[in-house]
Amino acid sequence: HQPIHLSDYRPPAYLVKHTELTFDLDPSATRVKARLHLQRHPEADAGAPLVLDGEALELKAIAMDGQALEADEYAVSETELTVFQVPESFILDTEVEIAPKDNTALEGLYQSASMYCTQCEAEGFRRITFYPDRPDVMATFATTVIGDSGSEPVLLSNGNPVERGELPNGRHFATWEDPHPKPSYLFALVAGDLKKVEDHFTTMSGRDVTLQIWVEEENLNKTEHAMASLKRSMRWDEEAYGREYDLDLFMIVAVNDFNMGAMENKGLNIFNSAAVLTHPQTATDATFQRVEGIVAHEYFHNWSGNRVTCRDWFQLSLKEGFTVFRDQSFSAEVNSAPVKRIEEVSFFRTAQFAEDAGPTSHPVRPDSYIEIGNFYTLTIYEKGAEVVRMLSNLLGAETFRKGSDLYFARFDGQAVTIEDFVTCMAEVSGLDLSQFMRWYSQAGTPEIDANGEYDYANATYRLTLRQRTPATPGQPDKLPLHIPVRMGLVGTKSGRDLNLTLDGQDLGTDTVIHLREEEQEFLFTDVAEAPVPSLLRGFSAPVKLFFPYSREELAFLLANDSDGFNQWDAGQRLVLLALDDLIAAHRNGVEKVMDPRVVDAFRDLLSQDTDDQAVLAEMLMLPSEAYIAEQQLLVDVDAIHAARDFVKQSLAHELRDEFLTLYQENQSAGAYAPTPAQIGRRALKNVALSYLMSIEDPQAITAAKQQFDADHNMTDVRHALTLLVHSSRGDIADPALKAFGTKWAHDPLVMDQWFTLQVTRPQADALDRVRYLMQHPAFSLKNPNKVRALIGAFAGQNRVNFHRLDGEGYRLLADVVIELNRLNPEIAARIITPLTRWQRFDEARQDLMKAELERIRQEKLSPNLYEIIEKSLA
Ligand code: B3K
Ligand code: ZN
């Protein structure tokens, strides 16, 4: 398993102008004929051999310009087909045999239940046919699919349908043509007994586009939300980015077995059913919102990814970071913007910060990789999106739009680099973005130490910012970054944002200061009253910001900051300070005492009238155990769990009546709709119920039971059931759990939720439940959603039980990883993550975790796991 380096990039020796494919489908012996119209690259050597990628293919025939090749004219290895002598331009015909039914890796052509489908990004196409399987080779495609008329009545591929007909022996065919040149990773094929829901969209230039969502018959009633989201996305991309759809047909297919959320194949997006199907009775609000975001994301890729694609896989964030930024902007506009930002950042600071501090830390544009499948990470996606967001903020919305227009116009139909993107932004703005480029090459989370000093006599405020980025694997020394810090000064007397004057310039009450040096001082003049600084508003840069706030100052910002995001963040910081004390008390065996300032701050929140229930719900939520752990040098899982429970229970005791009122005032009434207003009310009501259930208040138990029985919508039902199952009231929880499991036995997506809510239970029997549920008929290691719902949820969300001191949690995960290494390397390399984060635990746990990593290392490892294990044990 050798690393590949960005610095070794060379253009391809041969380009494919046009690709013709014919699939004769069969579970164990699918025949794939490929006719490639090849042309030597203008800069390539005349004598260059043709080298095509290919894995697990059985070559049946090969011919050049109609002539079968002799055995000594080509060679086939485990990974390549080489034709030694080829002219400047020629046609290559190959025929291979593959076995979709044995493909448990879910890369290339595979079977999911009775249907055939493909996943080609990043390097799955080479498991379908011999091909230059790299994104800088773009060709038009014509694809013919032959299948059984009975079991595969529907035959789909990219582009437009051009012909179909019957064949002998109960077979039939369909031919598709995609006029837009594309790399092989965007190829798709679907065949099976599918039903469709159809709709239409009229583009900004007045063209009619047919929209289809293809599903198994029983899911026809779960497509409405995805279709509505698709239409909103198409309109939004026209309005926000001037991007129009470019085919007459856009298809989405729902597939049960899928490694990721979804895939943006040209004209034929393939979705994990969990990322597209919704129904009020089966999907929660979170799922409705996730579906909306993913449908948008894949649709937006049509321009940011497909029309303009990546030169090589090191540029992955070019399409992913930009597209995540685009889907985030879309979701913010169609939902509650502050809540979206809070959710994004809270996820980012927990998961991406942890990744960036761990053994697999890498830059937004990595310098090397062993397995590109390991780089579909939070850093490439979410940090990449934060970097684009900073660009957009630096340029301002209007100039950023000019930059994106230039980018799409200049590079349409090309495979390009991150420099190409940033250069467009620099050109339209006149900004020097050379220092900014370090965001793409330096890994690790930058830290800012901030300090402030108010001078009464001179009415000045001196803000000092110092930045450093910690060393990460392979990058011991870091250079200072260009960090935009959005800020305000909140007057302690008035509670208002003060006017900001810097170097004699009036900057209004909210401004962005630019930290470029290791240390910089900003002297604000005419500061009329002593202020509390509100820094990094809206999370204006993906950094950790430290400021020695007192608890009084944090309570003040929570009540007064004009920036909703920082208001929420002040609350989080306040709770974190209280948690620090409680964690220490727990470790030292001293009695825990609740900080009254937190109680007062929460009482104030609860006494205010709010018109944004969703924001209030966020403010009332305690930081997760994972985020609390992120703040500790040495993670003590049990102390964190106990301290957090203590805060929750103390607040519940002190504010019982307030929470009860909140619960009662926000009951679900009327028909379910996934509107921001309804979602906010449900979130608020359910957060109140969580507090009350933490002390097992009798009224709360009755309420939870009623909420479950009322069966109004899955958000409420699942929340109530989770609270009951996580309580000590097995007498109520067990029958409810059983009824739920029986009622939904036929629905895999609901069963996923049933698995998750059981294995995240904090009680000591959780691990036994995982082992027990792994034997459940609805569970299968071959289905990635099941692996995530059961194993992933246990290892990632049930910290006290996963980190059991007897090492049983680690052993269970390692056992699963070893099996998945054979079945599905991509999922194995993802699910192992919690084991790779051993560095911050106590020695006993470190030893146990490392021992499991060593045990896995003894196996014959896929490149995916090999890379992760080696980095984790380095
Ligand atoms: N581009 C796909 C990623 C699939 C990669 C799987 N190895 C999903 C997305 O970002 O839209
Ligand atoms: Zn994407």
Tens digit of each residue's pLDDT (9 = 90 or more) over 172-199: 999 999 999 999 999 999 999 999 999 9
Tens digit of each residue's pLDDT (9 = 90 or more) over 380-438: 999 999 999 999 999 999 999 999 999 999 999 999 999 999 999 999 999 999 999 99
Q: Which of the four pLDDT bands, split at 50, 70 and 90, describes residue 759?
A: very high
298 is catalytic: yes
Angle at the Cα of 98 from the Cα atoms of 93 and 103, rounded to 5 degrees? 145
Q: Helix, strand, or coil here: 93?
A: strand
Mutate to test the pocket of ligand 1, among 119, 120, 121, 300 (most ligand atoms within 8 A of CB): 121
Domain ranges of the chain: 4-193, 309-441, 447-541, 744-874
Look at residues 524, 530, 579, 527 and name the one whose alpha carbon lies nearest to residue 551. Answer: 579
Tokens of 160: 């437009």
The structure tokens 């299948």 sit at 147
Look at residues 314, 377, 317, 370 and name the one whose alpha carbon lies nearest to residue 864. Answer: 370
Kindly report the backbone phi and psi dihedral angles of residue 433, in degrees, each rounded to the nearest multiple of 5, phi listed first: -105, 20
Residues with Cβ within 8 Å of 145's Cβ and at least 6 positions away in sequence, in order, are 23, 25, 155, 156, 157, 173, 174, 175, 176, 189, 191
Interface predicted TM-score (ipTM): 0.99
Distance 305 CA to ligand 2 centre (A): 8
Positive or negative, the CA dihedral 399, 405, 408, 409 is negative
Ligand 1 pocket member 122 (CB < 6 A): yes
**Predicted pLDDT at 256:** 98
Counting from 1 in the atom list of ligand 1, the atom nearest the Cα of 372 is 7
Amino acid identity at 152: E
Distance 265 CA to ligand 1 centre (A): 10
Mean pLDDT of 839-867: 98
Tokens of 230: 């698709």
Counting from 1 in the atom list of ligand 1, the atom nearest the Cα of 262 is 8
Amino acid identity at 351: A
**Predicted pLDDT at 431:** 98
Ligand 1 pocket member 376 (CB < 6 A): yes
Do 4-193 and 744-874 come out as alike in CATH topology?
A: no
Ligand 1 pocket member 830 (CB < 6 A): no
Distance 211 CA to ligand 1 centre (A): 21
Distance 301 CA to ligand 2 centre (A): 7
**Domain spanning 447-541: which superfamily?**
Aminopeptidase N, middle-beta domain (2.60.40.1840)
Tens digit of each residue's pLDDT (9 = 90 or more) over 274-321: 999 999 999 999 999 999 999 999 999 999 999 999 999 999 999 999
The yes-or-no verdict on residue 52 having pLDDT over 90 is yes
Distance 260 CA to ligand 1 centre (A): 7
Catalytic residue, chosen from 20, 123, 298, 553, is: 298
Ligand 1 pocket member 825 (CB < 6 A): no
Phi-psi region of 444 (alpha: psi -120 to 50; beta: other; left: phi over 0): left
Tens digit of each residue's pLDDT (9 = 90 or more) over 795-816: 999 999 999 999 999 999 999 9
Ligand 1 pocket member 260 (CB < 6 A): yes
**Domain spanning 4-193: which superfamily?**
tricorn interacting facor f3 domain (2.60.40.1730)
Cα 27 to Cα 60, 123, 354, distances in angstroms: 17, 21, 42
DSSP state of 258: -
Tens digit of each residue's pLDDT (9 = 90 or more) over 315-368: 999 999 999 999 999 999 999 899 999 999 999 999 999 999 999 999 999 999
Average pLDDT, the chain: 98
Domain covering 309-441 assigned CATH 3.40.50.2000 in the classification: no
Counting from 1 in the atom list of ligand 1, the atom nearest the Cα of 119 is 6
Cα 406 to Cα 120, 246, 316, distances in angstroms: 29, 18, 20
Ligand 1 pocket member 298 (CB < 6 A): yes
**Predicted pLDDT at 668:** 83
Q: Which of the four pLDDT bands, split at 50, 70 and 90, describes residue 609?
A: confident
Q: Which of the four pLDDT bands, split at 50, 70 and 90, describes residue 114?
A: confident
395 burial (CB, 10 Å; 0-12 / 13-18 / 19+) is buried
Cα 128 to Cα 19, 25, 77, 703, 749, distances in angstroms: 13, 12, 15, 55, 29
Mutate to test the pocket of ligand 1, among 320, 379, 381, 864 (most ligand atoms within 8 A of CB): 320
User: Does the bond joining 122 to the residue before it have cis omega, within 30 degrees of 0?
Assistant: yes
* Pairing assessment for the beta strands 447-455 and 544-546 based on DSSP bridges: parallel
Residue nearest to atom 4 of ligand 1 (CA): 121
Mutate to test the pocket of ligand 1, among 263, 826, 827 (most ligand atoms within 8 A of CB): 263
**Predicted pLDDT at 743:** 98
Positive or negative, the CA dihedral 351, 354, 359, 365 is positive
What kind of fold does domain 744-874 have according to CATH?
A: Zincin-like fold (1.25.50)
The structure tokens 């979206």 sit at 340
Q: Which of the four pLDDT bands, split at 50, 70 and 90, describes residue 669?
A: confident
H/E stretch holding 164? strand 160-167
Ligand 1 pocket member 121 (CB < 6 A): yes
Ligand 1 pocket member 123 (CB < 6 A): no
Q: Give dist(CA 537, CA 490) in Å, integer.
A: 12
Tens digit of each residue's pLDDT (9 = 90 or more) over 763-783: 999 999 999 999 999 999 999
The yes-or-no verdict on residue 707 having pLDDT over 90 is yes
Tens digit of each residue's pLDDT (9 = 90 or more) over 56-65: 999 999 999 9
Distance 315 CA to ligand 1 centre (A): 13
Q: Give dist(CA 820, CA 417) in Å, integer.
A: 34
User: What share of the chain in percent tops pLDDT 90?
Assistant: 99
Distance 66 CA to ligand 1 centre (A): 37
Residue nearest to atom 10 of ligand 1 (CA): 320
Phi-psi region of 94 (alpha: psi -120 to 50; beta: other; left: phi over 0): beta
Kindly report the backbone phi and psi dihedral angles of residue 461, in degrees, each rounded to the nearest multiple of 5, phi listed first: -130, 120
Mean pLDDT of 723-747: 98
Contact 524, 443 (CB under 8 A): no
Pick the ligand that lies closest to the CA of residue 295.
1
**Predicted pLDDT at 610:** 85
Widest Cα–Cα separation across the chain: 95
